[in-house]
Amino acid sequence: MELEVVDVFDIEGVECDRVQSESIHESIYREGKSIQPSWVSSAEALHRTKLKNKSALQQAMSKLLNAHFVPVSLLRRGEARNTEYSQLAIDLIKAMRCPDKTEFERLKANILPAETAAVVSVVAPIKFKQDADNQLAIASSQIVDLRQAAQLRLAQLKQLHRQWQEAEKAEEVAQIKDLEAQEAQWDLQCVEEVMREETYKKNRKRELKQMLRNSTEVI
């Protein structure tokens, strides 16, 4: 069937074709019957989509598969250098890059509902599981970080407690030494006082003897 192109416009160097008549994809999927689409090499697909490089092509394919749940069997086949892309993939990528998403949504709507539902039923749980696994991994990492932080803080508190105990012990020792020094000073003062009294008594006794001697001589 001949395709009627209404207009072609360039958005950031990308040509977007609007097709009013039956699209290539509609010619592939008609009345629920699948017809084998044409397949092209990655280089040809890159040329037709007008993407800059293979990385951009892979990103576009990833978006179709993971964000829009288009069955991979409808988009590409083969592995590595033998990978081939369908005309549907090329049409979807070109339509996806246009500001007006009408053509893109129309192409997606023409995909067999059964195939789309089958892919969504498989991909959605997988994606949900991946998201749950990622969240669990993040939560586990956060728990590990919190546990390590708590252990570090506990070690710091233990160290502060030991330092406080050591300081308190050192202060007690210093106080004891001060008390011992004061007691020693008091003891010394007591000894000096006793010695002074003894000296005084001896001197007084000597004086009394001398006075007695002097009085005897006078008599």
Query: Shortest CA distance to 66 belongs to which of 1, 134, 148, 128?
Result: 128
Q: Residue 22: CA atoms inside 13 Å, Cβ hemisphere, count?
A: 8
Buried (b) or exposed (e) across 148-168, using 16+ Cβ within 10 A? eeeeeeeeeeeeeeeeeeeee
pLDDT digits (tens, 9 = 90+) for 2-61: 343 333 333 344 555 544 334 444 444 444 444 445 899 989 999 999 998 989 999 999
Query: Shortest CA distance to 43 belongs to which of 78, 2, 79, 82?
Result: 82
pTM over 0.85: no
The pairing of beta strand 84-86 with beta strand 39-41: antiparallel
pLDDT digits (tens, 9 = 90+) for 151-196: 888 888 888 888 888 888 888 888 888 888 888 888 888 888 888 8
Token pair in block for residue 212:
């007695």
Q: How far apart are CA 143 and CA 36, in angstroms?
A: 52
